Structure 1
Amino acid sequence: MQTISDNNSGAIREIFGRDKALIGMIHCPPFPGAPRYRGTSLDAVYDDCMRDAEALVGGGLHGLIIENHGDIPFSKPEDIGPETAAFMSVVTDRIARAVGVPLGINVLANAPIPAFAIAMAGGAKFIRVNQWANAYVANEGFMEGRAAEAMRYRSLLRAEHIKVFADSHVKHGAHAITADRTIEELTRDLAFFDADAVIATGQRTGNTATMEEIEQIGAATHLPLLVGSGVDKSNIAEILKRTNGVIVASSLKKDGVWWNPVDPDRVKAFVEQARPALEL
């Protein structure tokens, strides 16, 4: 494998204290300022996030990502208001104090700068960025990688300890702009722009990457690889054989629907299926 970056490959162990990690998603309800917000009290919004966090961690997951998934339709980064970072910082701080596992931040759509600010304010260990390098056409329109400005902002905050988990061949979009470059090359670009871990996804929320694509992406990078969509109890063992962990959401919700509360029984069954593969 060609050497692309001198970034070390130990982000998962550094953050989670283990070589393979199960990371759950906190899909925050709509925040004030988002189209689907209907005047719900902020305490109720925060309580919903806390309920899911406690169910996921209580069921055995090793970490969480906090995401403004209820803010559909998502704004482009330059249109995200300061209120989003403010509310997410409160959620992050409350969860961090309550559950004691490493946290990550994802601000949709593709907004690493507020994500770094939230992570710094709330004590999160990493951020997830859906388009870190290159460009594609997303649901929100043309979306550019924001690594250059984001890493300069991280330096400004003196937040170099906050890691970057970046998607390769990200879901919910078309990659015709970069169609002349292979998935392997697109993955190498993430390391070249100083990402710390790579995430393989499917085509949309709840849809998994194929085993072939997971192996393609994994063979192209020395960085830790996670699968970030479509993971459930039926495929977790096979995925963990090929990766350093997973980010799981919809399959742990009631009826497997992303906007429903976390189902503790689904979490327990998922962790039981994952446990034998965690030590591989």
Structure 2
Amino acid sequence: MTTWLTDIFGTEKVAIGLVHLKALPSDPMYDFEGGMEKVIDSAKHDIVALQNGGIDGLMFSNEFSFPYQNKVSQEVLAAMAYVIGVVKPIIKVPFGSNVISDPSASIALNAAVGGQYTRGQFAGCFSSNSGIVNQDVGAHQRHKANLRMDNFKIIHYVRPESSRDLGGRTIQETVKTANFENMVDAFGVSGSIAGQKIDMNVLKEIKNTAPNQVVFATTGLTLDSIEEIYSKVDGAFVATYFKKDGIFENPVDENRVKSFMDKLKDFRSKN
């Protein structure tokens, strides 16, 4: 089955590599001495490594804005737009951006920088590590529509990382309702934290409930899990595995990207 993934990436079973931006102004871990130049240099390195390794697409994320906020500061949003604007001349593949835990900001940022997709929690009420997450999907979809982002794609998390549905809904109930009324472009499935493998039982429930919907794995992909995961999903976001020695805080290792993408392309050619 051909989906919107082919329209954007020219293929199905895509891999999107994360460009984890270093801490930004107003973030507790921001490096005042290195400043924005350090953030930009890190982003450039990771973009080149991902693209040289054969990645299908990029996703910019304020990954080191610990602890995350449900409403990001003006400085973080401005800094993300600045970084993407600076590095845009070297981007050779489709890209999107994700302002973690702030879906309205994600839409605004992508409208400004020309991103083609984002991911996040756009609907539902959950108890999470950062408190109560309560998203108004109607407001987010109207925000997108008012900006004339007709071809912009939103990957909806079924549940945020490390969270519980406050209404006690099952995965099946959540997916069935969202797929019917939330104008979902794709569902995203994550582990409890970055780098952790997704729950295959959750993935199975999603596919059984919405068999024709695009589904992404958003955490935990490795070289060894390509066949298992990609036999069930349409795409994946890959981050930790691509880092040097597979360590979250490290820069992207081009050789790890190439090994992963070579194996994925071989899988695609046979399926």
TM-score, with structure 2 as normaliser: 0.93
Which deviates more from structure 2 when the two are superposed, residues 184-193 or residues 249-258? Answer: 184-193
SS at match of 1:15: helix
| Alignment match of 1:223 (pick from 193, 213, 224) | 213
Deviations 1:169-202, CA, capped at 9 Å, x for gaps: 2322223x132x2212212333221120111111
Question: Is residue 116–residue 162 contact of structure 1 (8 Å, CA) maintained in 2?
Answer: no
- 1:26-69 CA-to-partner distances (Å, cap 9, x unmatched) read 11100011011130221221110111011011101100111101
| Cα drift, residue 143 of structure 1 | 0.1
Structure 2 CA distance for aligned equivalents of residues 208 and 186 of structure 1: 21
Q: Equivalent of 2:203, from 206, 214, 229? A: 214
d(CA) in 1 for partners of 2:155 and 2:196?
Answer: 19
8 Å contact 1:75–1:140 — kept in the other structure?
Answer: yes
> What amino acid is the match of 2:174?
L
Q: Does 1:88 align with 2:70?
A: no
User: So what's the TM-score if we normalise by structure 1?
Assistant: 0.90
CA distance in 2, matches of 1:236, 1:206: 14
| 3-state secondary structure, aligned to 2:59 | strand
- Select which of 50, 58, 63 maps to 1:64: 58
1:232 aligns to 2:226 (yes or no): no
Residue identity over aligned pairs, in percent, reads 27
User: Which AA in structure 2 matches 1:219?
Assistant: N
1:139 maps to a residue whose letter is N
Mapped contact 2:187–2:216 kept (Cα < 8 A):
yes
2:13 maps to 20
Structure 2: unaligned runs, 5 residues or longer? none
Matches of 1:201 and 1:83, distance apart in 2? 28
Quote the Cα distance in structure 2 between the aligned partners of 1:62 and 1:113.
25
**1:264 Cα deviation (Å)?**
1.3
Number of the residue aligned with 2:35 = 41
Confirm or deny: 8 A CA contact 1:200 1:217 kept in the other structure. no
| 1:1-280 equivalences in 2 (<5 Å) | 10-39=3-32, 40-77=34-71, 80-109=72-101, 111-129=102-120, 131-175=121-165, 177-179=166-168, 181-191=169-179, 192-221=181-210, 222-279=212-269, 280=271
Over aligned residues, Cα RMSD in angstroms? 1.6
**Residues in 2 aligned to 1:92 and 1:144: alpha-carbon distance in whole angstroms:** 28
Equivalent residues of 1:85, 1:117 under 8 A apart: no
Aligned residues: 266
Task: Report the alpha carbon displacement of residue 146 of structure 1 after superposing the two structures with TM.
Answer: 3.0
